[in-house]
Structure 1
Amino acid sequence: MPTVLLFSRQPLTTRPLQEWLDDTENSIVLVTTPKAVADAQSVLDRHFPRHRLVADYHSWATEQAAEEAAREHGVDLVASTSESDVLRAARLRARLGVPGQSTASATAYRDKLVMKRLAREAGIGVPAFTAVEGPMDLLDFIDAEGFPVVVKPRTGAAAEGVAILREAADVTAFLERGRASDVPHVPGQWMAESFVHGEFFHVDGIMRDGQIVHCWPSEYTGGLAERVFDHVHLGSVLLEADDDRTDVLRGFAADVVEALPPAPAPLAFHLEVWLTADGEPVLCEIASRAGGALIAETYERAFGVHLAKEGLRAQCGSALVPVPQPQVPAAIAGWVLLPPGHGDFVPPAEPCPVPGVELTVKLAAGTRRQGVEHATDAAAEALIVAGTAEEVRKRMGEVTRWWHNNVAWR
């Protein structure tokens, strides 16, 4: 069994790596944080004795510590669990000379500007876009394309830092926030693109060597950036096999994966795409990792494949679950994230009564919140299973109404 350097800031209490991976005691060198292993010290000691704790996970020092650990233990592979680690893992592979997703492939799946350039060159539909190296680039783009314009970090995730500019005042507000922005307003960090009007979807699955192994589309119930701005719920529903959009979106995913530099081993992917009024797909972005929120759990209910788990196992040299792509989902499933409000949280007094709904409350009673902080931020999350997409949407509405009628923020 190969020795694997694994980047992970996911809490061991919610992402049980010791259950997902084989022989972690002898095969995994875990680079993680004290916060991620809080309340899991016995798991860490037993299953991950060769671990490195880093104080500031996103600092450059973490990559130095990871390389030192990798060389000390003679690792054969490098793996990661989060989008923010995709590129650093690829760069470490290059330094160590070990196989896996290359820096060129990781860059294409992380840098949205590179991604869209490659997609456009392959004839794939993309919005008008440009690099924003300074304020004049943004102003030039607005002059050429008009409002609204979306400005986003090139390597952001979960709508981090995204701004929708609809008028001149929005431009001024974006430019003025530069010093306070989590993503610095410096060259190489930002891009702008035209706003796309259309239905919003995601396609999730497994890819290998530039080809789709397994995938299925879902329709979002709203936009990710809009959720942060408007503090509303977010969810999605799997499409049914006889939905005309299903084959269109699966074919589009295959085209995008083929257009980007391939990774030799299987990887999970998460693609976001609009369908315009005339039915044409337009690329939002694609990531070489499993989708967040309850996407992996929903996919598992439908197809028996947990994308986050299988994507990680493949990076660690383990075989994929031998589940071929079925023609139809075993069940139609969906999920919804119920947003935090403003004040101290008072949870529901009774369990959720809506059938087919598994509700998980994420906050302790009395937790003080001030609205949605990022796209997947939730006070509670609900996994919904039914026989049809229409029934999933109906139950999604029922659980959302029940939640708002039975919680308080004081």
Structure 2
Amino acid sequence: MPKVLLFSRQPLTGRPLHEWLDDTAGSVVLLTTPKAVEGAEDVLAEHFPMHRLVPDYHSWATEQVAEEAARAHGVDLVASTSESDVLRAARLRARLGLPGQQPASATAYRDKVVMKRTAREAGVRVPAFTAVDSVADLLGFLDAVGYPAVVKPRFGAGSEGVAVLRGPEDVTAFLARQREAEVPYLPGQWMAESFVHGDFFHVDGIMRDGRVVHAWPGQYGGGGIAQRLWEDSHMSSVMLAPDDPRRAPLTQLTGDVIAALPASPTPLAFHLEAWIGDDGEPVLCEIASRAGGALIAEAYERVFGVQLAKEGLRAQCGSALTLTAQPPAPAELAGWTLFPPGYGAFVPPAGPCPVPTAELTLRMAPGAVGRGVEHLTQSAAVALVAARTAEEVRKDMEELARWWYAAAGWVRTEPDAS
């Protein structure tokens, strides 16, 4: 059994790594945070006795601790569970001469400028884009492509930090938020791209050696990710039907992108996002070498029997793939919804969910105070819906949304006078 250094800041109570992996006590050196193991101290002691806890997970010091632990325990592999760890895991593999995704591949899947440049050179459609290393870069790009445009962190995830620029006032607002921004306004950190009009899709699956092992596309609902962040709306997705005419071009785009970017010999989960406009041709938004968030992995597992986050992690740790080829058309399709926190104390629905195809899970306790959508996957409740056709899934999700917004409540709380 290979010994693995595992980067993970995910709470052990929510992501049961000890159930996902084999022989954890003897083979996994877990690098995590005190917060991630709260409420799971017994699991940590039993399954991860070789763990290292770091107080500031995203600091450079964490990489030093990781290398010291890897050398001390003589690890054979390095694995990660979050997008923020993809590059640091690759750098450690390169330092130690270990197999798996290397820095060139990790950079292409993390740095959106490198990603889009590489994809464009291979003939993949991407928006007009540029690196933004100064105000002059941003203003020059806007002079060339006009409004609207989008400015975003090159290494961002979950749409954090993204700003849509519809006019000069939005540029002023973007520049004014510099002091509060988590991503520094420095060279190498930001990019801008033209705004793409179209429906928004995602493709998720497993890749290896520059090719897709298996995958399936889905379509985001409503206004998509941007609307959720800016309007506190719910976020949803429905898998495409096998005969949906958009499935083939999305599948082709995915294969072309993965073939274009530097490959990893180790199987990895991936999450690609793309638009399709009036011409029916997909345009790449971005791709990540990790499983998609929200309930994407759970929906995929419901339909194909493979949990992508688990499968991708196990593959990094040396386990064989559960599914090694594209499965036939599924017998059912799945969709999911994240219902947003409102403003005030949460009052959950009094009765059970009336939609029989839906599995609803509350993520906030009664009385917990909501402050709207503060990050992309934050939710008061989540729901997974599975039915025979995509149309049935959409219909049931619409019924579910109508019930939720009528039945759930938010009681405004008075600010603390003290």
What TM-score bracket applies, with the shorter chain setting the length?
over 0.9
Q: Which residue of 2 aligns with 1:248?
A: 249
Does residue 389 of the first structure (1) align with residue 378 of the second (2)?
no
Distance 2:328 2:56 in 1: 45
Q: Which residue of 2 aligns with 1:406?
A: 407
Give unmatched runs, 5+ long, in structure 2. 412-418
Distance 1:134 1:225 in 2: 25
Deviations 1:54-73 (A, max 9, x none): 11111111111111111110
Deviations 1:262-302 (A, max 9, x none): 00010000000011111111000000000000000101111
Q: Which residue of 2 aligns with 1:355?
A: 356
AA of the residue aligned to 1:239: L
Does residue 3 of the first structure (1) align with residue 3 of the second (2)?
yes
Q: Which residue of 2 aligns with 1:308?
A: 309
AA of the residue aligned to 2:20: W
Deviations 1:41-82 (A, max 9, x none): 111100011001111111111111111111110000000000
TM-score, structure 2 as length reference: 0.97
AA of the residue aligned to 1:79: A
Q: Which residue of 1 aligns with 2:62?
A: 62
The answer on whether the counterparts of 1:303 and 1:330 sit within 8 Å (CA) in structure 2 is no
AA of the residue aligned to 1:245: R
Q: Which residue of 1 aligns with 2:176?
A: 176
Q: Which residue of 2 aligns with 1:229?
A: 230
Q: Secondary structure at the match of 1:244?
A: coil
Does residue 337 of the first structure (1) align with residue 341 of the second (2)?
no
Deviations 1:115-155 (A, max 9, x none): 00000000100000000001111111111111111000000
Q: Which residue of 1 aligns with 2:415?
A: none
Give the CA deviation at 1:366. 1.5
Distance 1:209 1:323 in 2: 13
Report 1:120-269 matches (<5 A): 120-221=120-221, 222-269=223-270
Distance 1:228 1:14 in 2: 23
Give the CA deviation at 1:323. 5.3
Report 1:21-100 matches (<5 A): 21-100=21-100
AA of the residue aligned to 2:315: A
Q: Percent identity?
A: 69
Q: Which residue of 2 aligns with 1:319?
A: 320
Distance 2:160 2:206 in 1: 25
Give unmatched runs, 5+ long, in structure 1. none
Give the CA deviation at 1:227. 1.1
AA of the residue aligned to 1:103: P
The answer on whether the counterparts of 2:306 and 2:323 sit within 8 Å (CA) in structure 1 is no
AA of the residue aligned to 2:168: A
Give the CA deviation at 1:171. 0.6
Deviations 1:156-179 (A, max 9, x none): 000010001111111100011111
The answer on whether the counterparts of 1:301 and 1:330 sit within 8 Å (CA) in structure 2 is no
4+ long deviations beyond 6 Å = none
AA of the residue aligned to 2:136: M
Distance 2:11 2:224 in 1: 27
Distance 2:127 2:93 in 1: 33
AA of the residue aligned to 1:192: A
